[in-house]
């Protein structure tokens, strides 16, 4: 049991660091959004942890990713509550993809591509929707003054955050499915899930 806990913590550290590096790379390549946000595959390592270890792996990895962004200064913040919503809550909720970890692992073992794509897409959609919700609320509360005159704040936040979250969902889903299909063993570790 102790070996399992050590392996879990090591994997959280490695995959969180990988997610952070991918986030830095995507931020450097797509600096389109002035108040933060980018089309990125940085969520993929968090989803790998969610599918390997379930909720605890995904949630803890997401938390560490958000914390890394804050402590390294790689964030856009105007208020402690906004920082909490955009960097802690938004990345912690990615771990909720782990609710279907067992189904993803089983579909991978059965080599059932249709089920695999369905479960991965549903899990990532749920996680991205939760992350979008955190950004959307933060955008309405703290960034409404950026909305063009006459545009409702909720619409501005919806368009702004949706413009990078929707493409990120699509890209992340495709990359995650391709990874599971080409290297299925990385998603099959945890015996308690499978």
In a domain, 87, yes or no: yes
Does residue 193 lie within any of the structural domains?
no
Boundaries of domain holding 30: 2-187
194 within domain boundaries: no
Q: Is residue 192 part of a domain?
A: no
Tens digit of pLDDT for each residue in 49-74? 999 999 999 999 999 999 999 998 77
Has residue 189 got a pLDDT over 70? no
Q: Does residue 139 lie in a domain region?
A: yes
Q: What is the CATH number of the domain that holds 59?
A: 1.10.1760.20
Q: How many structural domains are present in the chain?
A: 1
C-beta neighbour count of 8 within 10 angstroms: 18
Residue 100 in domain: yes
Could you report the per-residue pLDDT of 85-122, keeping only the tens digit for each?
A: 999 999 999 999 999 999 988 888 888 889 988 999 99
Q: Which residue has the tokens 């969902």?
A: 169
What does the pLDDT read at residue 194?
Answer: 41
pTM assigned to the model: 0.88
DSSP calls for 19-60: HHHHHHHHHHH-TT-TTS----STTHHHHHHHHHH-HHHHHH
In this structure, is the dihedral angle defined by the CA atoms of residues 82, 88, 94 and 99, taken in order, positive or negative? negative
- Establish if 166 belongs to a structural domain: yes
Could you tell me if residue 26 is inside a domain? Answer: yes
């Amino acid at each position: 049991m102790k070996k399992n806990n050590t392996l879990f913590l090591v994997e959280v550290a490695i995959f969180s660091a990988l997610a952070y590096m991918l986030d830095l790379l995507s931020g450097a390549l797509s600096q389109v959004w002035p108040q933060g946000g980018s089309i990125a595959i940085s969520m993929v390592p968090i989803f790998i942890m969610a599918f390997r270890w379930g909720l605890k792996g995904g949630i803890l990895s997401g938390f560490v990713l958000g914390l890394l962004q804050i402590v390294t200064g790689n964030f856009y913040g105007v208020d402690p509550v906004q920082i909490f919503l955009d960097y802690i809550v938004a990345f912690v909720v990615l771990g909720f993809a782990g609710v279907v970890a067992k189904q993803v692992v089983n579909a991978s073992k059965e080599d059932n591509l249709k089920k695999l794509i369905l479960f991965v897409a549903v899990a990532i959609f749920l996680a991205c929707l939760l992350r979008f919700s955190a950004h959307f609320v933060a955008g309405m509360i703290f960034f409404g003054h950026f909305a063009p005159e006459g545009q409702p704040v909720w619409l501005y936040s919806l368009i702004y955050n949706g413009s990078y979250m929707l493409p990120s969902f699509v890209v992340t889903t495709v990359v995650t499915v391709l990874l599971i299909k080409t290297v299925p063993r990385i998603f099959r570790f945890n015996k308690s899930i499978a």
